[in-house]
A and B are shown apart, each in its own frame.
Chain A
């Protein structure tokens, strides 16, 4: 037990640095992919054929490409195309590009749960497509997609560990450093699991709160 505790306390700075980076990666990528995913969903339900085509192509390509490949493309191929991004921004871009495709599909499923009469009534009042979408359809769509949306965000939180393979020192990079220091690998992994459980807990709480708050709105 003593060894187990010391694994953490002796390397507190490393764990802190790793998880701090994980949190930063997560927050930036979560906001980015929510915004981009919602815009893509709006494009996919818009009356403009070209926007629908762009949205569909984006989702088809990004959702079906392994995340590691997207990272590799940005980190290794990016510089050759003169897109000289640092490792951390590259990781954010990769996560946003990949996750937004999934968020788009979840939001689109939510849009389909909103009765067509809602959009029709909004159009009959003289609202434009952005107003109908932003004021009426999306707010109602989000109410019905809280659980799947959280699943996508939790998956993304765990996907941040792929960044370790591309020179970003986040939680997934901790085992390698610990092994170089000759620390107990088993204890290290347990601590990392505990760290992720602690990070995910607020997301689960947020999901419950939102579901309870919006549950009465129908």
Chain B
């Protein structure tokens, strides 16, 4: 793995994106440092997921620039594939490969993309499954696992590529309430280990205790950003206060 410049790991500069008439990202500027955990919150339709997905170009942007580790995102082809292999991604709907076992899900990337030796990858994959607490499920198919187990397997799959950063796109939104904790525990552990993370979530508890910075998004703009203690105690904008009053009263 290459370590380069001391600048931010992820740098977005004046990024704009439309879905038809909908202006979903408006002049977004965002820098994320190495080891930083950024939690993005905001009402649905505010562009949080699009922001997250634009960083590994699952959503191409209309204008502006995104740099990862000092290099502008390649538009397509092998260069883009290489960049994506350095950015782990965890989806709301898990998206584990349905026809592969949990262990195969975790080993596939390193073996096919990085051309690593199967035996070496297998060992690392089992360690990761151990770490997320589902080593005993390694030979099952995803459909045989609970939602929480599937999402932990998906995190292990992303980590197997030894990424420089991890993107979480509402990782707990599709989970039954009793399974949210087990996934957040894994993510908290990851944050504590110094992983650079961007987390789109509605879990305010996680934002409070694991984030270095909370970003509040609305209508495609980064409306407010602050360390969690400051943000939750003293939101500066009316919109953020309004949003927090809705999500924190339950």
Do A and B bind? yes
Chain A interface residues toward B at CB < 8 A: 47, 115, 117-118, 120-128, 131, 135-136, 139-140, 143, 216-218
> Which of B81, B89, B93, B95 is close to A127, meaning CB atoms less than 8 Å apart?
B81
The residue from B76, B98, B143, B161 contacting A125, defined by CB atoms under 8 A apart: B161
Which of A126, A131, A135, A139 contacts B161 (CB under 8 A)? A126
- Once the chains are docked, how many angstroms separate the CA of A15 from the CA of B113? 53
* Cα distance A217–B81 in the bound complex, in angstroms: 28
**Would you give the shortest CB distance from B195 to chain A, in whole angstroms?**
16
Complex: how many Å from CA A216 to CA B56? 33
Contacts of B95 in A (CB 8 A): 115, 117-118, 120-121
Find the residue from B98, B141, B158 having the highest chain A CB count within 10 A.
B98
Q: Complex Cα distance A139/B91, Å?
A: 22
| Cα of A134 to Cα of B150 in the assembled complex, Å | 23
Q: Is the CB of A216 within 8 A of B78?
A: no
Q: Which of B210-244 contact A (CB under 8 A)?
A: none
A-B contacts counted at CB < 8 A amount to 69
Contacts of B250 in A (CB 8 A): none
Q: Would you call B113 and A127 a contact (CB within 8 A)?
A: yes
- Are B112 and A121 within 8 A (Cβ)? no
Let me know if A121 and B82 touch, CB within 8 A.
no
Per the 8 Å Cβ criterion, residues 88-106 of B in contact with A are 88-89, 91, 93, 95-99
Contact of A124 among B56, B76, B96, B143 (CB under 8 A): B56
Which chain B positions have C-beta within 8 A of A131?
112-113
Q: Does B84 contact A (CB under 8 A)?
A: yes
A-B contact pairs, 16 of them (CB 8 A): A47-B76, A115-B95, A117-B93, A118-B98, A120-B58, A121-B89, A121-B97, A123-B81, A125-B108, A125-B109, A125-B158, A126-B84, A127-B81, A131-B113, A216-B141, A217-B99
**Does A126 lie within 8 Å of B113, measured CB to CB?**
yes
CB within 8 A of B99: which of A121, A125, A127, A140?
A140
Could you say which residues of chain A place their CB within 8 Å of the CB of B86?
126
Chain B residues contacting A139 (CB-CB under 8 Å) are 99
CB distance from A104 to the nearest CB of B (A): 22
* B111 CB to nearest chain A CB (Å): 10
Bound CA span A174–B226, Å: 85
Q: What's the Cα separation between A135 and B97 when bound, in Å?
A: 10
CB distance from A214 to the nearest CB of B (A): 8
Please, which residue of chain A has its CB at the minimum distance from the CB of B109? A125
